[in-house]
Amino acid sequence: MKEGKGIYYYKSSSRYEGEYKNDLKEGKGIYYYKSDNKYEDDFKNNKFEGKGIYYYNDGDRYEGEWKNDLKEGKGIMHYSNGNKEEGIWKNNKLEIN
């Protein structure tokens, strides 16, 4: 059982570096994808939950609130071309800006 801080390497070539509780990603951490995308900050019950930043391999990034692995709440999507979308997100989509 994973407990405390650690690094876990997945067969998919992804990895997680961060906190565990009761064998689940729980607390602060960074999840690195094989695609070079990454998510960092809050996890709860193995999911992106709370505040976090998702970095896309094309230079875009989302900074804001997450719930159950989805953009949910206040957040800003920064695009590599300099544009941005800011507002309230629901179910991974910008609802109110």
CB 9 within 8 A of CB 2: no
Domain hosting 70: range is 4-96
Amino acid in the structure at residue 11:
K
pLDDT at residue 75 greater than cutoff 90? yes
25-55 per-position pLDDT tens digit: 999 999 999 999 999 999 999 999 999 999 9
Count: domains in the chain: 1
pLDDT band at residue 97 using 50, 70 and 90 as cut-offs: confident
Quote the CA–CA distance of 63 and 11 in Å, as a whole number.
28
What contacts 91, CB < 8 A, 6 or more positions away?
70, 71, 72
**The domain that contains 71 carries what CATH number?**
2.20.110.10
End-to-end CA gap in the chain: 43
Task: Say whether pTM exceeds 0.85.
Answer: yes
CB 74 within 8 A of CB 83: no
* Mean pLDDT for the stretch of residues 64-78: 98
